[in-house]
Amino acid sequence: MLAETLLCLLNAGIIQAAATAQLSLNNILSLDSQNLPSPPTFSLPAAQNLTITVAYCSSETTSTRFFVTNSTSVDDPGPGGGTDVYEIPVDRGLGAFSGIFPNGGVLALDGDIPDNFSFEIGASDDGPIHQVLATFPLLGDTTSNQALLFSPPFDPPSFSEPSYPNYTLPSPLLSPPSPPNSSPNFTLVITPTSSQVLTSLPQTACMISSQSSSSGNIANESLWLRDEQGWRMQWLIEGLSPQTNYTAYVVENNTTLSGPMYFVTKSAIFACPIAAFLPYCPGVTYAVPLPASGSALSIYDNTNIPSAISDTLLTYFSNFTIALTTQACGRDYYSPLQTCADCQRAYFRWLCSVSFPRCGEESPTTTTTSSSSGETSVDIPTFTSALQAQTTSSSPRNPTFPSMNMSYSVLLPCIETCQATDRACPNFLGFACPLARFNANSSYGVGYIDGADPDQQGLGVPGSAQDQWGNVWCNLV
C-alpha cells in the first residue's frame, strides 16, 4: 500500500516536472541556475516553422550545450544524437535553430551548468525572437561633450505620387509629422571604448542592457523621421568627455541588439553647436557654424534657428517648386525613371546640405602599429575627411549665416547629393554639378561614395559618407 502510494507520488512528480517546463509559442523564458527544472528539459510548442533561440544573460563561461528534437519518441535529446536530434549552435552567447515541429518537441540542456548562469530561451513561428540586427545605430554628430544618436529605422514613410491634372507637390514641412502610434521599445547603452567591457560580453540584448553604468546622460529622447528609411529614436546625450572614442548599442524590445557602433567626441576647443529638429530639413542633425545657443539643450532647433537662415531656405524651396511645376508634371515625362516629386525631394536634400554647412574635425588617427616582433609595423590606411579650413576672415559658405568669431573646419557635402539632384531633375532647370576633374573638391567631398568619375557609382574609396567605427568623410543629409 505504502509502496503503491510512493509510486503514484513519484509518477505525479515526473509528470509535473515535464508539465511545468513548457516553452510557449512567441514567448520568452528567463532562467538561471537556481530556477531550472530538473531534469533541465522543456517541451516545445508545435509549429510548421519554429525558430528556437537561446541568449546568455550573464558572462559566466559555460560548457552547457543545447539540444532539440522534433521527434515525439525522444524525451531527452543530447550529444548521443539519434533521429531528429539537433544541437543549437551558440556563438557569442546567441543561438538559433529553425525547423519543422508538427507535433512539438523537446529542448534539453546538457553538460555542467555553472552557478549564477542566466539565460533566456524563446520559441517563435515568426522568425527569431532573440537576434542581432544587421543595421547599426546611426551617428548624427558629436560636439566636445554631446552626441546625437539614432536607433535603427522602423515604419518607413510612404510617398503618394501626385497625378495630373492636379499635380500638387508638397510644401516644405513647418512642423514635424506626427510619430506612429506604436513604436518598438528602445534602450541605449554607451561606454568608453577604452574599457572594452561591452564587446567582450555575450552579444545579446539581455546581457548588454544589464550593463547599467552608461556614459553620459540622455538630455532628450524623441522619435524623428530623419530620412526615407523610416522613423528612428533620436537621443541627445550630454556629459561626455572630449576626444574620446565611445561604444554604443541599441536594444530593441528587450530582445534585439543593434551594434556595436563607435563614435568619437570632438576636441575641447570645438565650438560649433548641434542643429536638429528642423522639420523642413529633417536630415540636418549635426554641428553647424553658429555662436553658442542659449537654449536649455545648447542646440539649435526650430524655435531658435536664426530666421534669416530658415526664411531664405524656405523661399528657395518655394521658388524651386514653382519653377519645376512650369513643366507639365505627370503629363509630360522628362525621364522614364524620375518624376517631378523625385526631383523636388532630391533638391530639398541638396539645398539642406549646402544651406547648413557642417563643422568637422580631423578624426584622431586610427593608425595602429603591430609590433609583435618589434620590427614589423602595419599601417591601417585611413582616408582624409573632406574638411575645409575657415578663418575669421573667410566669408561664411552660406551668406545667411553670421560670420564666426573663430576659425573652424567645414565638412563638405558629399558630391552624390548634388549628382542625385542633377539626375532627378529636368534639364530646363539648369541644375548642374561641378566636375571632379576641375574644382569640385573645393565645394564637395569627391570620391568617397562613388568614384571621382561620374559613371563610377559605388566605386568610391570608403563607399559611404561615414561608417560604424566613428569615421565621417563627407556630409550626407
With binding defined as CB under 6 A, does residue 116 bind ligand NAG? yes
Positive or negative torsion for Cα 133, 138, 143, 147: negative
Which residues neighbour 120 within 8 Å (Cβ) at sequence distance 6 or greater?
Answer: 28, 29, 30, 31, 54, 55, 57, 130, 204, 206, 255
Characterize the bridge pairing of strands 256-264 and 131-132.
Answer: parallel
With binding defined as CB under 6 A, does residue 298 bind ligand NAG? no
**For residue 269, what is the DSSP state?**
T
Helices first, then strands: H and E counts in the chain: 6, 22
Chain centroid to CA 105: 36
Please state the closest distance from residue 423 (CB atom) to ligand NAG, in A: 22
Q: Which residues are 358's β-sheet partners? A: 411
With binding defined as CB under 6 A, does residue 326 bind ligand NAG? no
Identify which of 184, 186, 183, 176 has the alpha carbon closest to the alpha carbon of residue 137. Answer: 186
What torsion, rounded to 10 degrees, do the Cα atoms 325, 328, 332, 337 define? 20
Residue with cell 557635402: 413
Please state the closest distance from residue 463 (CB atom) to ligand NAG, in A: 16
With binding defined as CB under 6 A, does residue 112 bind ligand NAG? no
With binding defined as CB under 6 A, does residue 20 bind ligand NAG? no
The residue (of 5 and 34) whose beta carbon lies closer to ligand NAG is 34
What x/- string results for residues 149 through 188 when contact with ligand NAG is judged by CB under 6 A?
-----------------x-x-------------x-xx-x-
Q: Which residues are 68's β-sheet partners? A: 86, 107
Q: How many residues bind ligand NAG (CB under 6 A)?
A: 45
What torsion, rounded to 10 degrees, do the Cα atoms 371, 377, 382, 387 define? 100
The total of other beta-carbon atoms located within 10 Å of residue 330's CB is 18
Please state the closest distance from residue 177 (CB atom) to ligand NAG, in A: 14
Q: ∠ CA 360-361-367 to the nearest 5 degrees?
A: 135
Q: Interface residues for ligand NAG in 255-274 (CB under 6 A)? A: 256, 262, 264
Q: Phi and psi for 47 in degrees, rounded to 5?
A: -165, 150
With binding defined as CB under 6 A, does residue 127 bind ligand NAG? yes
Q: Interface residues for ligand NAG in 359-388 (CB under 6 A)? A: 363-364, 366
With binding defined as CB under 6 A, does residue 468 bind ligand NAG? no
What x/- string results for residues 33 through 72 when contact with ligand NAG is judged by CB under 6 A?
----------------x-x------------------xx-
With binding defined as CB under 6 A, does residue 471 bind ligand NAG? yes
Please state the closest distance from residue 13 (CB atom) to ligand NAG, in A: 28
Asked if 418 contacts 433 with a C-beta cutoff of 8 angstroms, the reply is: yes
Please state the closest distance from residue 98 (CB atom) to ligand NAG, in A: 4
The residue (of 16 and 367) whose beta carbon lies closer to ligand NAG is 367
Identify which of 129, 151, 140 has the alpha carbon closest to the alpha carbon of residue 250. Answer: 151
With binding defined as CB under 6 A, does residue 193 bind ligand NAG? yes
What x/- string results for residues 397 through 416 when contact with ligand NAG is judged by CB under 6 A?
--------x-----------
Q: Enumerate binding residues for ligand NAG (CB under 6 A).
A: 49, 51, 70-71, 84, 98-100, 102, 115-116, 127, 166, 168, 182, 184-185, 187, 193, 209, 220-222, 245, 252-254, 256, 262, 264, 277, 297, 301, 312, 315-316, 319, 363-364, 366, 405, 441, 469-471
